[in-house]
Structure 1
Amino acid sequence: MGISSALGPAREIALSSGRIRYHDTGTGSPVVFVHGLLVNADIWRGVVPGLAAAGHRCLTPDWPLGSHSIPVPDADLTPTGIADLIAEFLDALDLTDVTIVANDTGGALTQILMTRRPERIGRVVLAAVDCYEVFPPRPFTALVRVAKIPGTIAPLLAPLRSRLLQRLPLAFGWVTKHELPPAIAESYLLPARRSAAIRADLRRFAAGVDNRSTLAAAERFAEVDLPVLVVWSTEDKLFPTELAHRLVADLPKASLRTVDDSYTFVPEDQPELLAELIVEFTRLHAAP
């Protein structure tokens, strides 16, 4: 949807399995953002301005995770397939020494990416992410299982027109500490609500969600020769801080920073702080 002008102009790029919509703003070393399930590029609207001002080119794609605007019926939407799609996006734009910034489900995809196709990546930020056995996290395990069944997604999303119901744990209540602006909630929920093709993409992704993919990526963490910043909320309801400490212990060049007054969607609850942490990290690990 890309309703925020802070993300820069909307563009499209043709990849082997379909078109991806993305926003592009700023100049300098590239930062590519990977959002999670049932959100889109708008989740980064509070993070991008700080990075662009600090001298980064910020690219915020709408990945095909249920809140995208262009269906990709021919794409491989397994976690590995989307990781390869991200790698193809980097290839198509000839981006090098990229900082990947990921949140939530996007972190699981990024772990697969950095253990499978790391050649264009310079550093990684994992901000409150699925990992190890927790993909998907409770209470969303049952929801993802139900979403695999044809015809179930539309009735699941229909009640979320209500602002009150959007604050339930199975909606945004356990991922955002602070209520989403109405226009942003619509940006996230409207594509799958109004498009059967988008719902079909979402169902295909849900069918492939399995913690075997994150556990397989974790088996290769010792090979990851990239600086990794792990950012975690002290109040996260989905991902306990023990997961953050496991990531830092298993990734050879990882460090941990914690944030307060936030749930899983750190880009929503603490965007300015997240931007500051990313800028500090990229400067500390700038290419020689």
Structure 2
Amino acid sequence: MSSLKTIHLPQGPLQYLDQGRGQPIVFVHGLLADHQLWLPLLPDLGQGVRCIFPNWPLGAHAKAMKPDADLSVPGVARLIADFIAALDLRDVTLVGNDSGGALVQMVCARHPERIGRAVLTTCDAYDVFPPPAFATLKWWGHVPGLAWVSAQLLHHVPVLRRLPIAFGDLTEGPLADDLIEHWLQPLRKDAGVRRDVRKFLRSVSTRFTEEAGFALQGFNRPVLLLWSTRCRHFPKRLAERLLSELPHAELQWVDSAGVFLSLEHAGQVADNIRRFHQENALQEQPEGKSCAI
């Protein structure tokens, strides 16, 4: 496994893992996660693709961004587009999960120029951003010190991690404690990381996902929906609405109650991403157009 690279963008340093050669697939995790969310997919994604796993500034990133960086929801969508442009990636397959799926929708709606296709795996959409169980996270953005206190409690009282309002419902089986510790460490120890995630959480609103959903009715690229059948945070109705409103969407169900499908259903997720990427990469895609929000 290669070590992480660092690219310096106008918003600040961004670490990423870059694996393989071929047409690029860029992955977008959600809050309090990093590139390790996606690593189980690598063995099954196969040859002929370049998989790029950035650590987006969503609370588990080791390097804080610049103090003046725009890390609002639209700002992070812009950051994703800037990262893709800085690496000069084209015809990208953009994959998102959880709150990262909301960001993928916004990139496709606002900055589609380099996007060839998108994959949304069990994520925020429309009237769910964030899910009700995680609504208290928005207070991190408004109450100084709350993010630090929460991270310390999750570190020192491991039983709290299993609560539905923490990491408890994100997978069907328990998440590994060492992975949770890895994700919590930057939040516990770096004030700059806490500053970054607070900027994002202050701006979280269904206004952005509703607007993106409407704009994506004009998104003329293929979209694959990989969705849990029994997830209480992101119900099936979200996937069904996306399927009905996006012009070039397909839906594949995953028999799961979890959110982090890449950790527990890596083979099925990777097989579908590889198939979707290969089938659509062979087709000439129409030029992207901006879907104004």
Tell me the TM-score normalised to structure 1 length: 0.94
User: Which amino acid is the alignment partner of residue 57 of structure 1?
Assistant: R
**Unpaired segments of 5 or more residues in structure 2?**
284-293
SS in 1 for 2:69: coil
User: Which amino acid is the alignment partner of residue 151 of structure 1?
Assistant: G
Q: Which moved more, 1:118-127 or 1:181-190?
A: 181-190
Contact 2:59 2:187 in 1 (8 A): yes
Matching of residues 180-191 of structure 1 within 5 Å: 180-191=175-186
| Partners of 1:145 and 1:159 in 2: CA distance | 16
Contact 1:18 1:74 in 2 (8 A): no
| Partners of 1:156 and 1:225 in 2: CA distance | 42
**Unpaired segments of 5 or more residues in structure 1?**
none
| Partners of 1:74 and 1:45 in 2: CA distance | 31
Question: Against the structure 1 CA distance between its residues 74 and 56, is the aligned structure 2 distance closer, same or farther, given a 3 Å change threshold?
Answer: same
| Partners of 1:149 and 1:238 in 2: CA distance | 24
User: Which amino acid is the alignment partner of residue 184 of structure 2?
Assistant: L
Please list the CA deviations of residues 170-223 of structure 1 after superposition, one character each: whole Å capped at 9, or x if unmatched. Answer: 111111112122221112111101111111111111101111111111121121
In the TM superposition, structure 1's runs of 4+ consecutive aligned residues that sit over 4 Å from their partners are none
User: 2:172 aligned with 1:177, yes or no?
Assistant: yes
User: 2:114 aligned with 1:130, yes or no?
Assistant: no
| Partners of 1:280 and 1:163 in 2: CA distance | 39
Identity of aligned residues (%): 42
Please list the CA deviations of residues 73-115 of structure 1 after superposition, one character each: whole Å capped at 9, or x if unmatched. Answer: 2211111111110001111000001101100000111111001
Task: Specify the alignment match of 1:286 in structure 2.
Answer: 281
Question: Against the structure 1 CA distance between its residues 155 and 272, is the aligned structure 2 distance closer, same or farther, given a 3 Å change threshold?
Answer: same
User: Which amino acid is the alignment partner of residue 33 of structure 2?
Assistant: V
| Partners of 2:169 and 2:145 in 1: CA distance | 25
2:251 corresponds, among 242, 247, 256, to 256
User: Which amino acid is the alignment partner of residue 103 of structure 1?
Assistant: N
User: 2:64 aligned with 1:67, yes or no?
Assistant: no
| Partners of 2:224 and 2:128 in 1: CA distance | 19
Task: Specify the alignment match of 2:101 in structure 1.
Answer: 107
**By how many angstroms is 1:9 displaced?**
2.4
Please list the CA deviations of residues 218-275 of structure 1 after superposition, one character each: whole Å capped at 9, or x if unmatched. Answer: 1211210110001111121201100000001111000100111340111122122111
| Partners of 2:47 and 2:276 in 1: CA distance | 12
Contact 1:27 1:56 in 2 (8 A): yes
SS in 2 for 1:46: helix
User: Which amino acid is the alignment partner of residue 152 of structure 1?
Assistant: L
| Partners of 1:257 and 1:204 in 2: CA distance | 34
User: Which amino acid is the alignment partner of residue 82 of structure 2?
Assistant: E
| Partners of 2:47 and 2:176 in 1: CA distance | 26
Matching of residues 177-216 of structure 1 within 5 Å: 177-216=172-211
Contact 1:9 1:25 in 2 (8 A): no
User: 2:4 aligned with 1:10, yes or no?
Assistant: yes
User: Which amino acid is the alignment partner of residue 226 of structure 1?
Assistant: R
Task: Specify the alignment match of 2:49 in structure 1.
Answer: 56
Aligned CA-pair RMSD: 1.2
Task: Specify the alignment match of 2:290 in structure 1.
Answer: none
SS in 1 for 2:154: helix
**By how many angstroms is 1:54 displaced?**
3.3
Contact 2:141 2:199 in 1 (8 A): no
2:34 corresponds, among 21, 29, 40, to 40
User: 2:190 aligned with 1:229, yes or no?
Assistant: no
User: Which amino acid is the alignment partner of residue 217 of structure 1?
Assistant: A
SS in 2 for 1:159: helix
User: Which amino acid is the alignment partner of residue 216 of structure 1?
Assistant: E
